[in-house]
Structures are given as structure tokens and as C-alpha cells.
């Protein structure tokens, strides 16, 4: 009986650690999301001229260039339906 109690205690401890791990991952995702939101808002303000900081200049320029590159790629990609985004759906199944 004592072996069963030890196994049960170990399983409960493992469950607690797993739950803590999941909570840590969720917290890290929320933190990352907050950083992304902050970065997006910072870019919007800097791009509009409301936030003029020299340390942001190269990053703002890089984002502008990357956005332009994406826009060029979107212009060259044929779209089967108006307003459809070809990259949002699952890949086509082979026939």
C-alpha cells in the first residue's frame, strides 16, 4: 500500500509541475504579445512623426522597407477570389 501512496504523491507532484509549466508558457506568450503591441504602437507613432527618437530611425526604416517588400509580393501573387488571402487557408490537396 505504501508504494501506491508514493506513486500517487509523485503523480500529483508531476501534475502540479506540469500546470506551473503551462502557466509559465501562457505568461510568456502574453508578455510576447504585449511586446508586439508596444512595438506596433511605437512604430505607428514614430512613422507618423509623433515620436521622434534617433534610436528608432533605423528600425522604422527597416519596417517600412519590409512592408514595401510584402506589398510588392502581394501585387505579384495571383488571387483567385477578390479579397482572398492565398496564404490564410490550408494547402491544396493533390489530385
Question: What's the predicted TM-score (pTM) here?
Answer: 0.56
Total domains in the chain come to: 1
Confidence of residue 27 (pLDDT cuts 50, 70, 90): very high
Task: Flag whether 79 is in a domain.
Answer: no
51 within domain boundaries:
yes
> Which residues form the domain of 53?
25-70
14 within domain boundaries: no
Q: Are 56 and 42 in contact (CB under 8 A)?
A: yes
Question: Within 13 Å, how many C-alpha atoms sit on residue 68's CB side?
Answer: 6
Does 87 reside within a domain? no
35 vs 24: CA distance, rounded Å: 16
| 2 confidence band (pLDDT: 50, 70, 90) | confident
* 50 domain-assigned: yes
CA distance 63 to 65: 5
CA separation for the pair 55, 61 (Å, rounded): 11
DSSP 48: T
- Does 34 fall in a domain? yes
Q: Each residue of 33-90: pLDDT tens digit?
A: 999 999 999 999 999 999 999 999 999 999 999 999 999 988 876 655 554 444 545 5
Amino acid at each position: 500500500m505504501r508504494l501506491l501512496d508514493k506513486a500517487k504523491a509523485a503523480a500529483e507532484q508531476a501534475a502540479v509541475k506540469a500546470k506551473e509549466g503551462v502557466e509559465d508558457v501562457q505568461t510568456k506568450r502574453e508578455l510576447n504579445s504585449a511586446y508586439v503591441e508596444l512595438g506596433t504602437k511605437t512604430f505607428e507613432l514614430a512613422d507618423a512623426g509623433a515620436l521622434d527618437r534617433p534610436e528608432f530611425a533605423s528600425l522604422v526604416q527597416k519596417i517600412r522597407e519590409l512592408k514595401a517588400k510584402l506589398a510588392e509580393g502581394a501585387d505579384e501573387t495571383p488571387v483567385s477570389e477578390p479579397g482572398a488571402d492565398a496564404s490564410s487557408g490550408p494547402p491544396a490537396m493533390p489530385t
